[in-house]
A = this chain, B = another copy of it.
Amino acid sequence: MTDAAASRQPGDASLGDAFHVFDTTLRDGAQREGINLSVADKLTIARHLDDFGVGFIEGGWPGANPRDTEFFRRAREEIDFRHARLVAFGATRRAGVAAADDPQVRALVDSRAPVVTIVAKAHDRHVELALRTTLEENLAMVRDTVEHLRERGRRVFVDCEHFFDGYQADPEYAKRVVRTAYEAGADVVVLCDTNGGMLPAQIQAVVRTVHADTGARLGIHAQDDTGCAVANTLAAVDAGATHVQCTANGYGERVGNANLFSVVAALQLKYGMKVLPEGALREMTRISHAIAEVVNLTPSTHQPYVGVSAFAHKAGLHASAIKVDPDLYQHIDPELVGNRLRMLVSDMAGRASIELKGQELGIDLSGDRELVGRIVERVKERELRGYSYEAADASFELLLREELLRGGAEERFRSFFTTESWRAIVENRPDGSHANEATVKLWAKGERIVSTAEGNGPVNALDRALRLALERIYPELAQMELVDYKVRILAGTHGTESTTRVLVSTGDGGGEWSTVGVADNVIAASWQALVDAYTYGLLRAGVEPQG
């Protein structure tokens, strides 16, 4: 087998090989509690990571499970990598077996990945207790496996597992593992804080010493158990590491790994290094959220740089100052990472925030103190009942427009339709089948409309009945689709008796908007959010209310 596979994955020549951004979302990231990736998920994530421009994508452990084996086959056939090289992960050969005879090592070669990372033990106790072999045999396992893979044309990185704990226990043995790997032909020896217990000062001191004593090219792999994985990664770079292993959104076992997005943003924006292709950083927020979608986790709202809250301001004090100069209150321009400044509507905010929010929505409120005061009061009153406008811009805009129109034709604005009543029935029959049925009774254009629909759940049935009732009068509804539906139970101490908040996101192909409903009942809260969603959608489509 030759290096043919590598030629299909040339990497981005403009970035050179001097510094490696190595992503292990598909291998170490997948160890996060709650993540369970299909092959299709892994391929989608690999495409996002390649778009983002990381240098290396560790795809999994071929041979360890059929899913990873299939991933490497399909990635080779289906993805034309523009920036990244694909990496297979595996272990050193077993004790007492030649590398060529170890099926696990053979699977790494068979994956045809141009780069292989092998994990090696660097902590004496782990060698003895977990591997159950001698310290010398462990070194031979490292040497043989690296040489075997090098002979087959692979580029090899060696992950020294538990390196920092091992270094504390026996620094000389830990360094011998590094030297052995490097002398056998590993391109990079990666020092791993596998248990994640280190702090930046320790990492920096150890990396500096190991670098000086071994002369090896070093990488860093940090887990976040002390909340310092990003800082630990940067500390290692300060001490001479030129290869950083990270995961998208910091996914990983236990607390997680060093967050790829925080690390590259710091390297590019704070250190002034160029570690990604031109323009990549501006795609970071989008790519972070897209990967969260694929792994089926809600994007963290408070993630550095890319969270929706990362540049959100609610303090009245800050809001007034931001009117003067936004750079006074943000560490970088959010557009550099594809994010944006947001003003939050909240009862902690004063008039300045409401005016700025109006501005964001294209409505000038600055001239009308009485109107702004009325909006502040109404937001306060509703937030007290559990509404949250921070994540429901469309519902807030409806509230704002309603107040704007108070002076003129009272409440005319919301009257695309009025609700007389609705009902939803969920039934589990003796044969085990379900039935969900909803009936709505509405008035629109002076006409009373009764419609009934079935769905795969009560909210879905209500949604269908509502659309069925209105689509004849408002054909624009056919373009609209619910794209997300979230339920939050407030005051969770009372179990099923709690208040429920529903957030609905709706799209019409051209954009998305979010609405909120609150009730002591998930169905009633959903109904409110649906009514707001379609009302806003019709306004957005330029339809005139015809109540």
Contact = CB atoms under 8 A, between A and B. Distances in A.
Contacts of A293: 492-493
A329 B161 CA distance: 11
* Residue among A231, A293, A315 with most chain B CB within 10 A: A231
A227 B262 CA distance: 7
The count of identical subunits is 2
B331 A199 contact: no
Contacts of A420: 430
A321 interface: yes
Interface string A412-430: 0000000111111111111
A500 B487 CA distance: 10
Interface string A342-353: 001011100000
Contacts of A332: 197
- Per DSSP, are chain A's interface residues mostly helix, strand or loop, or mixed? mixed
Nearest to A437: B425
A162 B455 CA distance: 54
Contacts of A305: 225
Contact of A31 (B314, B422, B428): B314
A266 interface: yes
Contact of A304 (B226, B328, B426, B490): B226
Nearest to A271: B199
A491 interface: yes
B460 A496 contact: yes
A397 interface: no
B520 A328 contact: no
Nearest to A230: B227
B33 A309 contact: yes
A457 interface: yes
Given A255-B302, A255-B309, A302-B256, A457 B492 contact: no
B318 A253 contact: yes
Interface in A195-232: 195-197, 199-201, 224-228, 230-232
Contacts of A330: 195
A496 B485 contact: yes
A297 to B, nearest CB: 10
Interface string A96-107: 000000000000
A527 B225 CA distance: 37
A26 interface: no
A199 B266 contact: yes
A463 B495 CA distance: 10
A255 B261 CA distance: 14
A33 B390 contact: yes
Contacts of A312: 33, 253-254
A51 interface: no
A168 to B, nearest CB: 11
A125 B328 contact: yes
By Cβ-Cβ distance, the 7 closest A-B pairs, closest first, are A197-B331, A482-B495, A231-B231, A457-B521, A227-B262, A487-B487, A227-B304
16 contacts: A31-B348, A130-B328, A226-B270, A226-B331, A228-B266, A253-B313, A253-B318, A254-B302, A254-B312, A293-B493, A419-B428, A423-B425, A423-B427, A436-B521, A457-B497, A457-B523
